[in-house]
Amino acid sequence: MFKVKLNFFDEYKIILIVLVFLSCLPFFMSTSLATEILIFGLFTSGFNILLGYTGILSFGHAAYFGLGAYTAGFVLKNCFGSVWLALFGSLVVSAIMGIILGFLCIKRKGVYFAMLSAAFANMFYFLALSPFKDITGGEDGLKEIPILMLQFPFRLSLSKPLNVYYFVFVLFVISIFVIWKIIHSPFGKVLKGIRENEERMKACGYNIKNIKIVSLVLSALFSGLAGGLYTIYLDYVPLRTFQWLTSGRVVAMALLGGTDTFIGPLVGAGIFLFIENTVSIVTARWEIFVGALIVLVILFSPGGVTGIFKKKN
Amino acid sequence: MIFGYSINLLVMQAILGLSLGAIYVLMASGLSIIYSLLDIVNFAHGAFYMLGAYGIYFFLNYIGNFYIALLLSIVIVTIIGMITEIYLLKPLYSRGDPLHPLLLTFGLSLVFPDIIKIFFGLIGKNVNFPDQMIGAIYWKSLVIPKYQLFIILISIASISFVAILLKKTNIGMILRASTRDSLMVKLLGINVSRMWTLGFMVGTAFAALAGGMMAPLVSAIPDMGVSIILPCFVVVVVGGLGSLEGAIISGIIIGETVSFVSLFAGAYSDVVIFVIMAIVLIIRPRGLLGQIGRKG
Amino acid sequence: MILKTVSLIKYFGGLKAIDNVNFALQEGEIRSIIGPNGAGKTTLFNLLTGYLKPNSGKIFFKGEDITDLPQYLICRKGIVKSFQITSIFPKLTVFENVRLAAQMRKTTYNFWKKAEDLEDVNDRVMQILKEVKLTEEKDSLAADLSYGLSRHLEIAISLATNPKILLLDEPTAGMNPEETQNTMHLIKKLKKDLTIVLVEHDMKVVMGISDLISVLHNGQILVEGSPDEIRNNKEVQRVYLGGR
């Protein structure tokens, strides 16, 4: 295997190539799979702000994805199908939940956070299932979302899959660009410092707790946006957006692709969804596949797929 | 009559809550033991619980005796735990990243249920109560369900047994000292690695016992691990990871709360656990007993 | 007086690690704290930086009560420690190690600029690297540094935060004589801008650069004085050479 030392400009070029490739995706595979790759690529990239860059493992990111999805669905149903308002709602609600959960859960040790995040995501699942069934549609999910039409900046029917794909693609590119800026900003460096040596960062005068909360909020924002896009793509909100397995899948995608690189999450999402799509034709037992993938990656290649190519220190 | 419910009903609900609490305590203790020794949060803990339930179902098909089937189930699941620790977890210790074992056990928590689904199908498997434990004890005007009493007594017995073993015997002392960063114990020539395996097996045995005992009540269902692991996390967060007393107190409190909530406000019984957790986090972020665990 | 502790007490379980310590530091001093192992020297440092909180007693920095402040705030006020066991960012370059620390004073929540474009931060980093003689290694990975240079990096990181008081925990531990000399020069050079407190076991270093020495024993300050006074003090000789 040849190892490549990536400097800033190389990374830049690789990302551009990946983006160009992604723009042509519907020509290589079904449009729905392509759209899912974008959506989960965004979800995983958002997730990786927390894991790969800050070093915090969350097992409950389904909370933000699901909240983003349901908020979008709710707004679409009740506010004249306004797509931008729906996505804005997704961002706001996820961010607020990120702040709340951040204040509740971040101050304790990392292992507690892993457990707490899982527990809270599950709480949302149960809330959506039963007590708030009237709003969320319970087990059936949120249905009867009106036929989607983008009004601004130009009219675009979002009932056609290809249109949805390119709508999602544009937002995807913008989001990835923003994440890129964040990673390379002074704040992004601070996150990396925390991941490398948290005690040292604390001793340098950084308010670690607040910084972690901000990192969580940023991560929640992109995860929530991905959820909102998922609703637009599906034209309905399934309960499984809050499920344990949704959190598990994003962890698997991040690990598979590699948490140490920028495109790792994207690569991971792509490969994961592609294989899952293929496996589920053969058998319904694809949870084994997710789980086994995680086990194998951890045992044999913790840096994921991109980790194989990235030069070790 | 209190709140419109008869005393009998309230007492029975309290006993149901206590038996649910006992299961939570078993699970939380198992998780705590594994964490104290190995610095691992075992996300597959619920899966071993599930395997315990399927184990007893499996052995009951061949052996009529409930108790022997339970014992065999615990033995088999503990062996699976041993294999897991030796071949899957141990290679990860030297890497120094605490997230790796955690992620691996998470992966296992997805693998085990699906394997069970392949061999036993998707639908839950019924497990019969042992004959002596059917029905209830009638004392004064109170109704005390026999099986729940059985769960409570067995849980008390096994936790006490292990606790005494850990605190009073030599091997217990060694086990307690064999934490992951115990240079001292290694220098004394003790095979710490074997102690870690032993610790993992004890924790897993607790999970299998809990699962086996719950099987007649809830049936053996492939996804029962998920539904127990999250309340278990809450118990542990509230009581403090690594604290046996914390696990006992918080397990009982949460068990009772769930039991009574399902009586008074059924729709919220799944959610109340997380509400408790949120409240505790806000009021006492360090858990009920202020235990933060070894490294704060 | 830049730093003062009043009746500082710290327990670890049943052990009284710091026993009623009244410590006073003048601005511009180089103070050494010496004492046998387990005397409480590192604990005292940890109390001063806010990493540990005392069971009772108070700490005053320039007259302000900082006893209950969190560690990061105390660091911002100007009390910074370098670690006994080197604590750097191994996978980052030497330059980035120092840059991260230097950035603290400038900005945390800037999401938009490129981190490398913070010119004044970069200038400060180069300045510090020159002082600790790490300019040539600036693009090497921190993990690749020799032991002596990594100790200098350790000090550089602490310096980058612009401290008023620098606490150095065994800065020359494990160094050969040449490295020790270099470090001594460095510390003496730093004195003009800072107040420095050292914990040291190497008596040559202690006697060579200190203005004052405090001797810590069993969590208490046994005696304080100039290097000559301490060298000739019978109590100190007994504590170091005799039994407890």
Name the band, by pLDDT with cuts 50, 70 and 90, for residue A226. very high
Name the band, by pLDDT with cuts 50, 70 and 90, for residue B288. low
Residue in B with minimal Cα distance to A246: B110
Length of chain A: 313
- For residue B273, pLDDT over 50 is answered with yes
**Alpha-carbon radius of gyration of chain C:** 18
Q: Are strands C15-21 and C3-12 parallel, antiparallel or unpaired?
A: antiparallel
* Chain A meets chain B (3+ C-beta pairs below 8 A): yes
A187 touches chain C (CB under 8 A): yes
Quick check: B277 and A115 CB within 8 A?
A: no
What pLDDT score does C15 carry? 87
Helix (H, G, I), strand (E, B) or coil at C6: strand
Residue B222 dihedral angles phi and psi, to the nearest 5°: -55, -35
Residue in A with minimal Cα distance to C102: A204
List A150's β-bridge partners, or say none: A156
Residue C131 dihedral angles phi and psi, to the nearest 5°: -60, -40
Distance from the Cα of A242 to chain B's closest Cα (Å) equals 14
A chain contacts of residue C73, beta-carbon cutoff 8 Å: 205
What pLDDT score does C193 carry? 83
Alpha-carbon gap, residue B60 to B50, rounded angstroms: 16
| ipTM value | 0.88
Distance from the Cα of B107 to chain A's closest Cα (Å) equals 4
Domain membership of residue B14 as a residue range: 7-222
Structure tokens at A260: 């140490």
pLDDT, one tens digit per residue, over A8-45 is: 667 778 888 888 888 888 888 888 999 999 999 999 99
Burial code (b: 16+ CB inside 10 Å, e: under 16) for B259-277 equals bbbbbeeeebbbbbbbebb
Chains within contact range of chain C (3+ C-beta pairs < 8 Å): A
**Can you spell out the DSSP letters for A32-78?**
HHHHHHHHHHHHHHHHHIIIIIT----S-THHHHHHHHHHHHHHHHH
Quick check: A196 and C92 CB within 8 A?
A: yes
Q: Pick the residue of A189, A191, A221 with the most C CBs within 10 A to test the interface with C by mutation.
A: A189
Name the band, by pLDDT with cuts 50, 70 and 90, for residue B294. very low
Residue B292 belongs to some domain of the structure: no
Mean pLDDT along residues B216-237: 90
Size of interface A-B (CB pairs under 8 A): 118
Quick check: B109 and A291 CB within 8 A?
A: yes
A181 touches chain C (CB under 8 A): yes
- For residue A109, pLDDT over 80 is answered with no
What pLDDT score does B287 carry? 64
C118 touches chain A (CB under 8 A): yes
B chain contacts of residue A62, beta-carbon cutoff 8 Å: none
C chain contacts of residue A184, beta-carbon cutoff 8 Å: 114-115
Mean pLDDT along residues B279-283: 82
C98 touches chain A (CB under 8 A): no
- For residue A63, pLDDT over 90 is answered with yes
Name the band, by pLDDT with cuts 50, 70 and 90, for residue A287. confident
- Of A200-214, B276-290, C97-111, C128-142, minimum mean pLDDT range: B276-290
Distance of CA C101 to the CA centre of its chain: 15
- For residue C62, pLDDT over 70 is answered with yes
- For residue C244, pLDDT over 60 is answered with no
- For residue A309, pLDDT over 80 is answered with no
Residue B250 belongs to some domain of the structure: no
How do the domains of chain A map onto residue ranges? Answer: 29-243
Nearest alpha carbon to residue A22 among A176, A178, A253, A225: A176
Name the band, by pLDDT with cuts 50, 70 and 90, for residue B296. very low
Chains within contact range of chain A (3+ C-beta pairs < 8 Å): B, C
Please provide the average confidence, as pLDDT, over all residues in chain C: 89
Quick check: C161 and A204 CB within 8 A?
A: yes
What pLDDT score does C211 carry? 92
Task: Give percent above pLDDT 90 in chain B.
Answer: 44
Most confident residue range from A77-81, B134-138, B201-205, C19-23: B201-205
C192 touches chain A (CB under 8 A): no
Alpha-carbon gap, residue B80 to C45, rounded angstroms: 48
Residue B261 belongs to some domain of the structure: no
Q: Which of A184, A187, A197 sits opposite C109 (nearest CB)?
A: A187
A130 touches chain B (CB under 8 A): yes
- For residue B3, pLDDT over 80 is answered with no
Q: Pick the residue of C66, C92, C108, C150 with the most A CBs within 10 A to test the interface with A by mutation.
A: C108
Alpha-carbon gap, residue C19 to C51, rounded angstroms: 18
What pLDDT score does B295 carry? 34
What pLDDT score does B289 carry? 60
Q: Which of A59, A110, A126 sits opposite B271 (nearest CB)?
A: A126
Name the band, by pLDDT with cuts 50, 70 and 90, for residue B253. very high
Cβ atoms of C1 and C25 within 8 Å: the answer is yes
Distance of CA A109 to the CA centre of its chain: 23
Mean pLDDT along residues A252-275: 91
- For residue A313, pLDDT over 50 is answered with no
Quick check: C110 and A187 CB within 8 A?
A: yes
Helix orientation angle between A264-282 and A244-257, rounded to the nearest 10 degrees: 120
A282 touches chain B (CB under 8 A): no
State the distance between the two ends of chain C, measured CA to CA, in whole angstroms.
33
Quick check: A206 and C104 CB within 8 A?
A: yes
- Of B45-49, B178-182, B196-200, C203-207, minimum mean pLDDT range: B178-182
Distance from the Cα of A209 to chain B's closest Cα (Å) equals 14
Between B19 and A146, residue with greater pLDDT: B19
- For residue C242, pLDDT over 60 is answered with no
pTM of whole model > 0.80? yes
Mean pLDDT along residues B204-224: 95
Structure tokens at B81: 């735990």
Name the band, by pLDDT with cuts 50, 70 and 90, for residue A2. very low
Q: Are strands C165-169 and C15-21 parallel, antiparallel or unpaired?
A: unpaired
Structural domain count, chain B: 1
Task: Give percent above pLDDT 70 in chain B.
Answer: 91
Q: Pick the residue of C82, C104, C117, C122 with the most A CBs within 10 A to test the interface with A by mutation.
A: C104
C chain contacts of residue A211, beta-carbon cutoff 8 Å: 108
Quick check: C143 and A214 CB within 8 A?
A: no
Structure tokens at B174: 């060694």
What pLDDT score does C243 carry? 39
What pLDDT score does A7 carry? 59
Q: Establish how many alpha carbons lie within 13 A of residue A190's alpha carbon, considering only the half-sphere containing its beta carbon.
A: 28
pLDDT, one tens digit per residue, over C161-199 is: 999 999 999 988 888 888 899 889 889 888 888 999 999
Structure tokens at B106: 């998470």
Mean pLDDT along residues A175-187: 94
C chain contacts of residue A55, beta-carbon cutoff 8 Å: none
What pLDDT score does A8 carry? 60
Residue in A with minimal Cα distance to B112: A288
What pLDDT score does B292 carry? 40
- For residue B19, pLDDT over 60 is answered with yes
Residue in A with minimal Cα distance to B43: A115
Alpha-carbon gap, residue B207 to B205, rounded angstroms: 5
Q: Which of C88, C105, C143 sits opposite A313 (nearest CB)?
A: C143
Quick check: A114 and B236 CB within 8 A?
A: no
Size of interface A-C (CB pairs under 8 A): 92
Quick check: A197 and C49 CB within 8 A?
A: no
Q: Pick the residue of B93, B94, B122, B230 with the most A CBs within 10 A to test the interface with A by mutation.
A: B230
Q: Which residues have C-beta within 8 Å of that of residue A21, sequence separation ≥ 6?
A: none
Quick check: C88 and A197 CB within 8 A?
A: yes
- For residue C36, pLDDT over 80 is answered with yes
- For residue B57, pLDDT over 50 is answered with yes
Cα dihedral A170→A172→A173→A175 (10° resolution): 120
Please provide the average confidence, as pLDDT, over all residues in chain A: 88
Residue B265 belongs to some domain of the structure: no
Q: Pick the residue of B31, B40, B50, B106 with the most A CBs within 10 A to test the interface with A by mutation.
A: B106
Quick check: A185 and C115 CB within 8 A?
A: yes
Residue C32 dihedral angles phi and psi, to the nearest 5°: -110, 140
Name the band, by pLDDT with cuts 50, 70 and 90, for residue A311. low
Q: Which of B35, B43, B110 sits opposite A287 (nearest CB)?
A: B110
Mean pLDDT along residues C204-218: 90
pLDDT, one tens digit per residue, over B74-117 is: 999 999 999 999 999 998 988 878 788 989 999 999 899 999 99
Quick check: A111 and B282 CB within 8 A?
A: no
Name the band, by pLDDT with cuts 50, 70 and 90, for residue B181. low
Residue B278 belongs to some domain of the structure: no
Q: Where are the alpha helices (DSSP H) in A106-243?
A: 110-129, 133-136, 161-183, 186-203, 208-234
Mean pLDDT along residues C25-31: 92
Quick check: A288 and B111 CB within 8 A?
A: yes
DSSP B85: I
